[in-house]
Amino acid sequence: MYVPKIYQSPDAEAVRLIREYPLALLLTNGPAAPFATHLPVIFPPASEPEGIESLSGVTLYGHLNRANPHWETLHEGQHATLVFQGANAYVSAAVYERTPAAPTWNFATTHVQGRIHPMPAREDALDVVRWTVAAFEAKHGLDWDPGPSLGYFDKIVDGVGAFRFTVESVDTMLKLSQEQAAPTRDKVAAHFAESPVGLHQEVSRLMRTAAPTATTGE
């Protein structure tokens, strides 16, 4: 992914984005055309991703429906990309309160390049499903106890294709009006903070916590 220097971000931001927005887009080459599948991705259980300084060499886990033709094309060591899309919002030029001006779109995204390792054993698939439920219930859910449903998991796991993903490189882009001078950037952040839309408020939070690196004036 092309990332202008002004929007480049460290792996710590990639870790945050992966944990906050774990529904990834898995991209691989197919025989005739690329395959793309949306699927949940997690860090290994009991890991502390917040302390990770570099994602290179880190293992991620994911799973998809075995009925998906994409599963049949996955093979050991295959190169793949995981795309994680974070908060994003349209920036109207009216917010700048100056002329000339041009609208834009603020967003946060991470592209993770690496190698995929299918885990065909049903025991491995069951482990990945359990780890995924535990991770998401703790971070995004209602602390649901899967214990009483493990028998059901065991019945449906034959339809699950699990995999490991070894990270080789990461490109993270936080495009948050860094090209604007501080007063204009503050106007955009304030505009989104006042919006009732959750994604807008998240963009505002990111704009206020990401260090401004403006290189142009008003």
For 58-72, what is each residue's pLDDT tens digit? 999 999 999 999 999
Q: Give the CA count within 13 Å in the CB-facing half-sphere of 55.
A: 29
pLDDT score of 53 = 77
Dihedral angle, C-alpha 176, 108, 138, 54, nearest 10 °: -100
Place 211 in a pLDDT band, splitting at 50, 70 and 90: low
What are the tokens at 81? 């990309």
Report the pLDDT averaged over residues 113-126. 97
CA atoms of 125 and 133, how far apart (whole Å): 12
Diameter over CA atoms, the chain: 64
Could you tell me the sign of the dihedral formed by the alpha carbons of 4, 9, 10, 11, in that order?
negative
Percent of residues, the chain, with pLDDT higher than 90 = 89
Identity (one letter) of the amino acid at 54? Answer: S
Place 79 in a pLDDT band, splitting at 50, 70 and 90: very high
pLDDT score of 195 = 94
Q: Over 50: is that where the pLDDT of 94 sits?
A: yes
Identity (one letter) of the amino acid at 59? Answer: T
pLDDT score of 52 = 77
pLDDT score of 213 = 52
Q: Over 80: is that where the pLDDT of 49 sits?
A: no
Model confidence pLDDT, tens digit, residues 128-142: 999 999 999 999 999
Q: Could you tell me which of 32, 9, 1 has the C-alpha nearest to residue 175?
A: 9
Q: Could you tell me which of 207, 164, 173 has the C-alpha nearest to residue 83?
A: 173
- Whether the Cβ atoms of residue 171 and residue 3 lie closer than 8 Å to each other: yes
Report the pLDDT averaged over residues 176-196. 95
What are the tokens at 173? 């882009």
Question: Domains of the chain by range and CATH?
Answer: 5-180 (2.30.110.10)
Residues 6 or more apart from 205 whose CB is under 8 A from it?
none
Identity (one letter) of the amino acid at 85? Answer: Q
